[in-house]
Homo-oligomer: A and B are copies of this chain.
Amino acid sequence: MNIPSYMTEVGQRARAASRAMARADTATKNKALSLIAAAITRDADQLRAANQKDLDAARANGLASALLDRLTLSDKAIATMIEGLQQIVALPDPIGEISNMKFRPTGIQVGQMRVPLGVIGIIYEARPNVTVDAAGLCIKSGNATILRGGSEAIHCNQALAKLVQEGLTGAGLPADAVQVIATTDRAAVGAMITMPDYIDVIVPRGGKGLIARLIEESTVPMIKHLDGICHVYIDDQADVEKALKIAFNAKCHRYGTCNTMETLLVARAIAPQVLPELSTLYLSQQVELRADEDAYKILQAGAYPHLSSATEEDWKTEYLAPILSIKTVADMDEAITHINTYSSHHTDSIVTENYSRSMRFLREVDSASVMVNASTRFADGFEFGLGAEIGISNDKLHARGPVGLDGLTSLKYVVLGHGEIRE
């Protein structure tokens, strides 16, 4: 297969399909989504068989068991895909929404209309459910999409692609609106990230290494985040009970997620009060603590068994593991400065009962999600009420934070005139 010419053809077909998708009305898009859900239900056995092929090949290649887990299309994963599609059907259609139509002194009326971005490229690892989730969100938001899943999932992704395209054509939409790349050749990824004429935005979903490489080489804008170095700051006017609950939940609810706390900041005045109790909670989960000098003394006095001294490197590290760095600070100003210096601008939370500080923290912390008295684990499209999530953005331009349907759209200006000309 000649990859550049294959990818150009895929791109051209996607661009053509995107015009039809932009025109499609809500009922048609919902019909396609429902037909896809029905086809997945009908062909579940075939999907499992295709997935088995992928799993056999992956085992033969010695894939790690965690990756095998993610690659597995369990009954529950199939049910979740179908439920996800039904949820997307239920979401309001963002396309065509007109806002702020105002008359100008010249007589024209000016406002904005929400429109699809066009063609979305999605590059992801070996998780077959992403194929259906991403296709569903792109269909509902009136975009065409080009999907490039992990090569280990190629059989299952191809089988899913067939069902998605069956749903599209069943609703009278072009099959090319969702194309799954048919090759595992890595050159296809290189082509995708350098065809701005055919792809309007790339959403990479995967490890930090993959995304860093894509950023380096991409000439197409991306909706992405590299990592989640999230903070909880326990203020000296915190409600201690809330502080304990939040600091424990933000670290221990799940270790591998990007909205997990990696560094705990504690006001020096309250540290002796909260750290001993908190360490009891962390000990129940065998969490390793890396503490600055003041925190170290307190934890050492309590004989915390998994304790070491934090270094500069710890403030910059996303552990994704039962490890937590702890730093004591003089006050909220020092906490905000630390966060704005070391945070990955993903999610940071303050625990305080002080009104003025809560307002300042919300305004001055420069992160995609800023919270008061809540666990960082809430930074998630579903928890925020977006209905579904195509990814998370730590960037400031375009979408920021969890990205739902609206993040796959943009606003254009619309002008309603009556023959006006500019004098």
Contacts and interface: CB of A to CB of B under 8 A. Distances in A.
A368 B113 CA distance: 10
B106 A369 contact: no
Contact of A414 (B104, B370, B418): B370
Interface in A368-423: 368-375, 377-379, 383-385, 395-398, 400-402, 410-422
Interface stretch (A38-46, A78-86, A359-367): A359-367
Interface string A29-73: 000000000000000000000000000000000000000000000
A104 B379 CA distance: 12
A401 B396 contact: no
Contacts of A292: none
Contact of A384 (B110, B113, B402, B411): B110
Given A246-B421, A383-B106, A412 B374 contact: no
Contacts of A419: 239, 241-242, 245-246, 373-374
A214 interface: no
Contacts of A294: none
A340 interface: yes
Q: Could you tell me the dominant secondary structure of chain A's interface residues? A: mixed
**A104, A113, A418, A419: most-surrounded residue (chain B CB, <10 A):** A419
A297 interface: no
A253 interface: yes
B420 A378 contact: yes
A86 B373 CA distance: 41
Interface residues of A, number: 67
B113 A362 contact: yes
A367 B201 CA distance: 17
B23 A421 contact: no
B362 A102 contact: no
Contacts of A221: 221, 395, 397
Interface in A182-213: 200-201
A275 interface: no
Contacts of A363: 22-23, 96, 113, 115
Contacts of A375: 417, 420-422
B373 A413 contact: no
Contacts of A104: 383-385
Contacts of A369: 412-415
B113 A371 contact: no
Contact of A377 (B364, B379, B397, B422): B422
A322 to B, nearest CB: 17
Given A221-B397, A245-B421, A249-B421, A370 B22 contact: no
A199 to B, nearest CB: 11
Nearest to A362: B414
A252 B118 CA distance: 33
Nearest to A411: B400
A108 interface: yes
A122 B242 CA distance: 45
A268 interface: no
B96 A420 contact: no
Contacts of A110: 378, 383-385
A415 B249 contact: no
A117 interface: yes
Contacts of A366: 19, 22, 115, 118, 412
Contacts of A370: 113, 412-415
A286 to B, nearest CB: 20
B384 A413 contact: yes
A422 B117 contact: no
Contacts of A23: 360, 363-364
7 contacts: A22-B364, A96-B363, A106-B378, A108-B378, A239-B419, A349-B417, A369-B412
